[in-house]
Structure 1
Amino acid sequence: MSQHTLEKPQLTTVAHRISSDAEAIDVAHRLAEQFRQGAAERDKHRKLPIAELDAFSQSGLWAITVPRQYGGAEVSYRTLGEVIRIISAVDPSLGQLPQNHFVVVEHLVLDASETQKQFFLELVLKGARFGNAFSEKGSRTVAEFETRITPDGTGYVVNGTKFFSTGALLAHWIPIVTVDATGLPHLALAEQGTPGLQVINDWSSFGQRTTASGTVIIDQVKVPQEHVVPIYQAFARPTVGGPVSQFIQAAVDAGIAEGAVEATIQYIRQHARPWIDDKHSQHASEDPYTIQQVGDIKLRLNAAIAILERAADKIQIAAADATESHVAAASIAVAEAKVLTTEIALLASNKLFELSGTRSTLEDYNLDRHWRNARTHTLHDPVRWKFHAIGNYYLNEVNPPRHPWI
């Protein structure tokens, strides 16, 4: 792991502009085949996917949720989930990197002024990447922030320290979640290289190794008033801000599960041996118990993806008509998807070794990356609280709380 900072990412060319859902999915498939090459080596050596990330954002996929009125494709949430899932199946770190970017785009659409929307959404269409400086690791809960924004002349000054800053190291802009004197959260968007803004590549997790989700130091960072968005408004009223954030997380987990299932099938076909008590099978793929187990994990994967797509449809309804009931239904549908995608990601990455045998644990294969990625990414928010929200909704007709983790 390297702890040095990289050169400031430069946006030197204008990204391709995707025009439809079908084109977005086609581009994602083509990029996935490209990203598959070297994914295991990038993970093994913690090599940041700089070239791959440039190709990803320049493809136009990072702008697919920009509304049509601002020049974007405004793809469906189903398409957004499928794009994230396709990329995550071959390299979950690359699949996770745009997660917060899409959340920022959502909040710009929900809460920014018209001038801010025109400015920032045009940057996104040109290929600009948003990282994030959201979470802090020293507070009592993930939702309590110590990073402060204070008035400073005609603008503001921001101070604090962030962690879990996925994508910030390689982003063109770093949106900082900060609170004002009354405790209300605001989003301060600072351009990479702004004086006082330092991004450190000190992410040392055993999984999702190349997301550069380390530290951001914010020391007297000046942000003009026109770059500050009152994101607290997204949770003061019913919006899809929370469900969208969680939906993308679930899509990453579904992609991790897909990658693990595919690795299991390929290893069994190419390397695994039948067990000694199987007197009839010539190949492990003929073992009746292995066949049953592969059928089970594939069935569970398909079920999780189906529930993920159902959640996308619920978000679509809530985005079009953001009533309390529609947003609550969307949040619960996403919670259900998050439970199932978490479970299948962990199950599939564990079954990979059970069905493949001891030789599959050799470092040469680096198959443990599937389990490491699943175990790391599914920790983003605890599914035990998803079960609580789901049960309380159906049993007691209690709507889930409004925040980015439900």
Structure 2
Amino acid sequence: MTVTDALVRDDERHLRDRLDELLPAFASDAAENDEHARLPEAALRRLHAEGFDAAALPQHLGGGGASYSFFGEVVRALAEADPAVATIWTMHLGAAVGLAQLTADSLGSYYADALLAGDRFANALSEPTSGNRFLNPQQEASPVEDGHVLDGAKRFVSGSEIADHLLVNVAIDGAPAFFGVEPDATITVIPIWDSLGLRGTRSQLLSFHGTLLRADRRGAAPGPDHRNYVGAGLAGISLGIADAALGALVAHARSRVIAGRPLAEQQWVEYAVADHHSRIEAVRAYWRQALRQADAGDPAHAGGFDRAKLLANRVAVETAQLAVRVGGASGYLRTSPIQRHLRDAEAGQLMAYSTEVLSGVIGKQVLGTETAR
């Protein structure tokens, strides 16, 4: 281990300790963020101020070069407190670090410096007509003198209303191309966000009307060594929701007394909790293995991220459903966190790639009938 490695790991430990101090406040705001579909902007700004954004930026781009393993555990902890914070932070870093990497040879440190300065980033990749295939855009951009022009829409852009920069992809001559875009009057937020779950992400639909995609903001194609924070973080979001659902279940079961005995002492509850706890930890172990593979540069980590997301999505939903069963009718009440965890868990399954798409991809790999995404 080099001296630099030791410093980075010391920094990770310091940040993890700071996160433990921040999480109670984040968790205390989660219910209201959900109730009012309110962006957790204060929490996101606090994460930046404490150095979490800088830590995630690779060292060669001027950041701390934190490990995938550290990033993943931060995402999981954030998601247990407030999954909207975890989701927006994951997408913010995915877009910021992605743009810094893709444009490093053309713009130099422009986007890396913007991230370090506190600018907000958002992924504007998913199209209404492309489904989960967000890396294969169908909207063709038209060439103009200074670049290309986009007329179209991007959906589920988490944190878009506070974004200073967007990572946008389009088709140019049938091939994907990536651009950094600063929101202007040609980009309109379509206020559709009255969602069932993850309401605090405010993942709006953006409409582009003759938006200039500047040639000097165009990035190269992603390379195999590029940081994939979105892929790494998605399983952690669902695992954090599963943790929160199980925690709410345990709190209810220990406090609810039936015929003189706590609900937690009923055998069916004990058995069910043991099963779900074990499954959560099994998925966590699998996901941690994929994170370690990514840290080691093992290309197998990409398939590991896919499988971990599929497993985490399912265990989150099933654990939240168990919490509803244990909570009974009170779990349906707005005052209970159980109903929120169930809604958030369901949303995780729909985030690209959805469980259905991942099942198809993984099934083809196992059966030997795999085709390119």
| Alignment TM-score, normalising by the size of structure 1 | 0.81
Whether contact under 8 Å (2:37, 2:201) holds in the other structure is: no
Measured in 1, the distance between the counterparts of 2:79 and 2:112 equals: 25
Offset from partner CA, 1:370-389 (integer Å, 9 cap, x none): 00010012112233443444
Question: Secondary structure of 1:205's partner?
Answer: coil
2:355 is aligned with 1:383? yes
Whether contact under 8 Å (1:111, 1:229) holds in the other structure is: yes
**Residue 174 to residue 253, structure 1, CA distance change in 2 (3 Å):** same
Question: Secondary structure of 1:199's partner?
Answer: strand
Whether contact under 8 Å (2:187, 2:207) holds in the other structure is: yes
Measured in 2, the distance between the counterparts of 1:370 and 1:141 equals: 23
Match of 1:167 in 2: 159
Question: Secondary structure of 2:199's partner?
Answer: coil
Instruction: Compare the two structures and name the one with the higher helix fraction.
Output: 2
Deviation at 1:140, TM superposition (A): 6.5
Match of 1:187 among 171, 175, 178: 178
Question: Secondary structure of 2:188's partner?
Answer: strand
Offset from partner CA, 1:279-319 (integer Å, 9 cap, x none): xx62122222212221221111111111111110122233x
Deviation at 1:195, TM superposition (A): 2.9
Counterpart mapping for 1:324-403 below 5 A: 326-327=298-299, 329-380=300-351, 381-393=353-365, 396=368, 401=372
2:252 is aligned with 1:267? yes
2:186 is aligned with 1:196? yes
Supply the AA of the counterpart residue of 1:253: S
Match of 1:5 in 2: none
Supply the AA of the counterpart residue of 1:207: G
Match of 1:290 in 2: 269
Match of 1:64 in 2: 55
Whether contact under 8 Å (1:146, 1:160) holds in the other structure is: no
Measured in 2, the distance between the counterparts of 1:289 and 1:88 equals: 28
Supply the AA of the counterpart residue of 1:245: V
2:232 is aligned with 1:247? yes
Offset from partner CA, 1:125-154 (integer Å, 9 cap, x none): 121121121111134763453434333323
Match of 1:176 among 145, 168, 179: 168
Q: Percent identity?
A: 23
Measured in 2, the distance between the counterparts of 1:247 and 1:71 equals: 21
Worse-superposed segment, 26-35 or 207-216: 26-35
Deviation at 1:75, TM superposition (A): 0.7
Whether contact under 8 Å (1:161, 1:217) holds in the other structure is: yes
Offset from partner CA, 1:58-94 (integer Å, 9 cap, x none): 3332332212133211111011111111111111111
2:310 is aligned with 1:310? no
Whether contact under 8 Å (1:208, 1:376) holds in the other structure is: yes
**Residue 24 to residue 30, structure 1, CA distance change in 2 (3 Å):** same
RMSD: 2.6
Measured in 2, the distance between the counterparts of 1:400 and 1:331 equals: 16
2:213 is aligned with 1:213? no
Match of 2:242 among 257, 262, 268: 257
Worse-superposed segment, 110-119 or 300-309: 110-119
Supply the AA of the counterpart residue of 1:111: L
Match of 1:299 among 270, 273, 278: 278
Question: Secondary structure of 1:114's partner?
Answer: coil
2:125 is aligned with 1:134? yes
